[in-house]
Amino acid sequence: MPATGTAIDAEIAKFDGLAARWWDPKGPMAPLHAMNPARCGWIVARLARLHGRDPAGPAPLAGLRVLDVGCGAGLASEALARAGAQVTGLDAAATALAVARAHAAAAGLAILYRQGMPEGLLAEGGPRFDAVVALEVIEHVADREAFCRHLAALMAPGGAVFVSTLNRTSRSFVMAKIGAEYLLRLLPVGTHDWRMFVRPAELGAELRAAGLRVSDITGLIRDARGGWSTGRDVGVNYLVMAR
């Protein structure tokens, strides 16, 4: 698959093609809509506590700069902005970003959306961020180690990096690949390549090579009714915080 920097061109095109239905809670991004409150709630709670805030208080992330890498049409960006963060959404997919901008404007949210990759921001010598978030992205990049280095370099001193992905286990193959794409049709066929799923130990090593240490980890767990929660089971989906 041709790649530009850490991006894989075919992966960009795949998700750009889903842009028009990104905000349809019953469309191809339905699993992300269902997962978003759990994953963003976990991030907001830890980032708020890191900065001495009450996670349950109003605008717990007020004034904090957050970079959402691989933001797509903005599901996580909007959730983090509603928590008070100053959000920059970054994605290589132009059509998805156009949808993100229009949706944020309609919601009255001041989110800065930019087209590109983390290495592009670094080349510009731009700002660093209190949190760098990459959700369901790292299993789609060409070079995970380089990607982790870029995330770390974009983090401000005292900040945190949050990465969510899929564990490469037999259970994830059955549930997240065969079940989600072919049996239940929760995702378009071809959304994921199981070989690119990332085991927690692999991600931890790649983050350590980038100068970060995993400080917290949680599983993202889907129940029989389609709801999501956080918990100890990291066998399929999981989320890490690194500093």
Handedness of CA 3, 89, 39, 205 (dihedral sign): positive
Q: How confident is the prediction for the chain on average, in pLDDT? A: 91
Q: What is the pLDDT of residues 34-58, one digit of tens each?
A: 999 999 999 999 999 999 999 999 9
pLDDT band at residue 212 using 50, 70 and 90 as cut-offs? very high
Binding-site residue positions: 39, 70, 91, 135
State whether residue 60 is helix, strand or coil: coil
Report the pLDDT averaged over residues 205-214. Answer: 98
Binding-site residue positions for S-adenosyl-L-methionine: 39, 70, 91, 135
Residue among 69, 61, 74 at smallest CA distance from 29: 74
Q: What is the pLDDT of residues 62-110, one digit of tens each?
A: 999 999 999 999 999 999 999 999 999 999 999 999 999 999 999 999 9
Going by the DSSP 8-state scheme, the letter that residue 185 receives in this structure is -
Which ranges of 73-156 would DSSP assign to H, the alpha helix? 75-82, 94-107, 118-124, 144-154
The domains of the chain, with CATH numbers, are: 3-242 (3.40.50.150)
Residue among 212, 223, 225, 230 at smallest CA distance from 131: 212
Residue among 161, 91, 90, 164 at smallest CA distance from 131: 161
Measure the CA–CA gap between 86 and 130, rounded to whole angstroms: 10
Contacts of 242 (CB under 8 A, 6+ apart): 160, 161, 162, 163, 207, 212, 213, 214, 215
- For β-strands 7-8 and 3-4, DSSP reports them as antiparallel
Question: Are 71 and 90 spatial neighbours (Cβ–Cβ below 8 Å)?
Answer: yes
Question: Are 71 and 77 spatial neighbours (Cβ–Cβ below 8 Å)?
Answer: yes
Distance set, CA 25 to CA 29, 30, 33, 137, 217 (Å): 7, 5, 6, 20, 27
Give the pTM. Answer: 0.92
Residue among 68, 72, 63 at smallest CA distance from 20: 72
